[in-house]
Amino acid sequence: MGNDSDVRVEPLRKPRKCPECGRPSTRENYPFCSDRCRQLDLSRWLTGSYAIPVTEDESKPGGEEQ
Protein backbone atom coordinates (compact mmCIF):
# COMPACT_ATOMS: atom_id res chain seq x y z
CA MET A 1 0.00 0.00 0.00
CA GLY A 2 2.79 2.41 0.74
CA ASN A 3 2.43 6.16 0.88
CA ASP A 4 -0.97 7.61 1.90
CA SER A 5 -0.17 10.94 0.24
CA ASP A 6 -0.72 9.25 -3.15
CA VAL A 7 -4.37 8.53 -2.30
CA ARG A 8 -6.77 10.77 -4.18
CA VAL A 9 -10.36 11.34 -3.09
CA GLU A 10 -12.86 11.75 -5.91
CA PRO A 11 -15.95 13.91 -5.28
CA LEU A 12 -19.27 12.07 -5.11
CA ARG A 13 -21.00 14.48 -7.50
CA LYS A 14 -20.00 17.09 -10.00
CA PRO A 15 -19.93 20.60 -8.51
CA ARG A 16 -23.12 22.49 -9.27
CA LYS A 17 -24.26 26.07 -8.87
CA CYS A 18 -26.83 26.87 -6.21
CA PRO A 19 -30.25 27.30 -7.89
CA GLU A 20 -31.01 30.27 -5.60
CA CYS A 21 -27.89 32.45 -5.79
CA GLY A 22 -25.47 30.80 -8.23
CA ARG A 23 -22.63 30.18 -5.75
CA PRO A 24 -20.99 26.73 -5.66
CA SER A 25 -23.06 24.16 -3.74
CA THR A 26 -21.84 22.49 -0.56
CA ARG A 27 -22.01 18.82 0.37
CA GLU A 28 -24.06 19.55 3.51
CA ASN A 29 -26.77 21.51 1.66
CA TYR A 30 -26.60 20.01 -1.85
CA PRO A 31 -27.77 21.27 -4.34
CA PHE A 32 -27.76 24.57 -2.42
CA CYS A 33 -24.79 26.55 -1.11
CA SER A 34 -26.17 27.23 2.36
CA ASP A 35 -28.98 26.51 4.77
CA ARG A 36 -30.43 29.94 3.94
CA CYS A 37 -30.82 29.13 0.23
CA ARG A 38 -32.24 25.70 1.08
CA GLN A 39 -34.84 27.28 3.39
CA LEU A 40 -35.77 29.90 0.76
CA ASP A 41 -36.50 27.15 -1.75
CA LEU A 42 -38.54 25.17 0.78
CA SER A 43 -40.54 28.30 1.62
CA ARG A 44 -41.39 28.81 -2.05
CA TRP A 45 -42.65 25.23 -2.34
CA LEU A 46 -44.76 25.53 0.82
CA THR A 47 -46.36 28.84 -0.18
CA GLY A 48 -47.24 27.59 -3.66
CA SER A 49 -44.84 29.80 -5.59
CA TYR A 50 -43.74 26.71 -7.48
CA ALA A 51 -46.85 25.25 -9.05
CA ILE A 52 -47.49 23.04 -12.03
CA PRO A 53 -50.36 24.50 -14.08
CA VAL A 54 -53.23 22.12 -14.72
CA THR A 55 -55.16 22.21 -17.98
CA GLU A 56 -58.26 20.30 -18.88
CA ASP A 57 -57.84 17.48 -21.38
CA GLU A 58 -59.64 18.72 -24.50
CA SER A 59 -59.89 15.24 -26.02
CA LYS A 60 -62.72 14.37 -23.61
CA PRO A 61 -65.40 17.07 -23.97
CA GLY A 62 -67.75 17.21 -21.00
CA GLY A 63 -66.28 14.08 -19.49
CA GLU A 64 -68.22 11.87 -21.92
CA GLU A 65 -66.54 8.78 -23.31
CA GLN A 66 -67.36 7.49 -26.78
| Residue 1 covered by a domain | no
Count of structural domains within the chain: 1
| Residue 55 covered by a domain | no
Boundaries of domain holding 42: 13-48
Expressed in percent and rounded to 5, the helix, strand and coil fractions of the chain are 30, 5, 70
For 32, other C-beta atoms within 10 Å of its C-beta total 23
Whether the pTM exceeds 0.95: the reply is no
pLDDT digit string (tens) for 11-65?
Answer: 677 779 999 999 999 989 999 999 999 999 999 999 999 888 888 776 666 655 5
Mean pLDDT of 1-12: 70
CA distance 20 to 32: 7
The phi and psi torsions of 52 (rounded to 5 degrees) equal -95, 120
Are 19 and 33 a contacting pair, CB within 8 Å? no
